Amino acid sequence: MIDGTDTATAPENVVIIGSGPAAWTAAVYAARANLHPLVFEGEPSREMIPGGQLMWTTDIDNYPGFEEGIDGQTLMARMKTQAERFGTRVIGENIASVDFSQRPFVLRPSWSAPITTHAVIVATGARAIWLDVPNEARLAQSGGGVSACAVCDGALPFFRNKVLAVVGGGDSAMEEATYLTKFASEVVIIHRRDAFRASKVMIERALKNPKIRVLWNSTVTEVLGGDEITGLKLKDTVTGAASELTVGGLFVAIGHTPNTAFLDGQLAATPGGYLVTPTPWRTATNIAGVFAAGDVMDEYYRQAITSAGTGCMAALEAERWLAEEGLESEAPASNGAA
């Protein structure tokens, strides 16, 4: 009995929450181990869509195996198809809340009946914090020169030998600006204050680079351009004066937010909200049977290939944990999955 609702199905072996590289890799490994995984891939929203941040990426040149590159939507579709090939079941809903205080664990989807499961892999990723100014989202989604990941996109031919702007004042902004100097003719850091909050060593490294200059006390009010970015409208935070800056690319580096609100604090996390795995190089969380994979537990690398790697790790750990606990069942439960 779950909150007065009698579930007609046996507990799942493992439920995977998410639909990015970590989730689909975990599903492939779990399915091949005959765990009959069930994936809740999420629902489209203004900020996130099933498939994660790669669904906003038009060209991926650094994922192994695709010598000519691949777009993010195609990569995610192929990963999903591969997981389904081995019997992974998929439900297009969010998990609205969880209860890890009882066993089996209870998961409550957005509108379907609650389900129970012995193990959970949380692979819900993180979402970039955007400026929320005109044309930003449109050009980010269309590959028109707006990005939230310099390491992912900076080496693309689109950005080479152009003036590129980086918005932010923390370590990530300094790191992205320095990285972009490998490809740009100039990198302009735009910061709303008159001092960076980044670490001293990162600031020194950026400011000593001859390709980097800084626009202090400035904010972006609009991204200019039709099919491709042509410039930025700026506002001086001290005087209020408006100006324009011609650029060939914009990289927003003001942070990421892990998608963990639905967990309601039941798993240990960093002050920034990233899930903590107590043992280094493991994906087990502070609650036995719950594992974390991908950007939801990685605030350092945040790459598709590292996310996929942790998805593999989480599935292997879940398989071993279920075996040790004697909880693995032979056949999948029926929960209305496709």
Annotation: CATH topology of 130-252: FAD/NAD(P)-binding domain (3.50.50)
The active-site residue out of 153, 194, 264, 298 is 153
State the Cα–Cα distance between residues 191 and 89, nearest whole angstrom.
46
Closest CA to 94 of 218, 263, 241, 249: 263
State the Cα–Cα distance between residues 114 and 3, nearest whole angstrom.
9
Looking at residue 35, its amino acid is L
What per-residue confidence (pLDDT) applies to 338? 62
Q: Per DSSP, what are the bridge partners of residue 12?
A: 117
pLDDT of 1 above 60: no
What residue segments make up the domains of the chain, in order of their start? 12-127+256-325, 130-252
Task: State the CATH class of domain 12-127+256-325.
Answer: alpha beta
312 given a catalytic annotation: no
* Token pair 């209870």 in the structure block, residue: 106
Closest CA to 106 of 257, 258, 264: 264
pLDDT-derived band at 279, boundaries 50, 70, 90? very high
pLDDT of 45 above 90: no
The active-site residue out of 6, 59, 99, 149 is 149
Predicted confidence (pLDDT) per residue in 151-180, tens digit? 888 989 999 999 999 999 998 899 899 999
Predicted confidence (pLDDT) per residue in 71-95, tens digit? 888 999 999 999 999 999 999 999 9
227 given a catalytic annotation: no
Residue 302 contacts residue 253 (beta carbons within 8 Å): no
Element (H, E) at 215: strand 212-215
Is omega for the bond preceding 134 within 30 degrees of 0, making it cis? no
- Provide the 3-class DSSP secondary structure of residue 218: strand
pLDDT of 330 above 70: no
Matching fold, domains 12-127+256-325 and 130-252:
yes
Sequence-ordered strand ranges (E) for 56-136: 89-91, 95-99, 105-109, 115-122, 126-128
153 given a catalytic annotation: yes
State the Cα–Cα distance between residues 153 and 150, nearest whole angstrom.
5
The active-site residue out of 59, 61, 71, 152 is 152
Q: Per DSSP, what are the bridge partners of residue 95?
A: 109
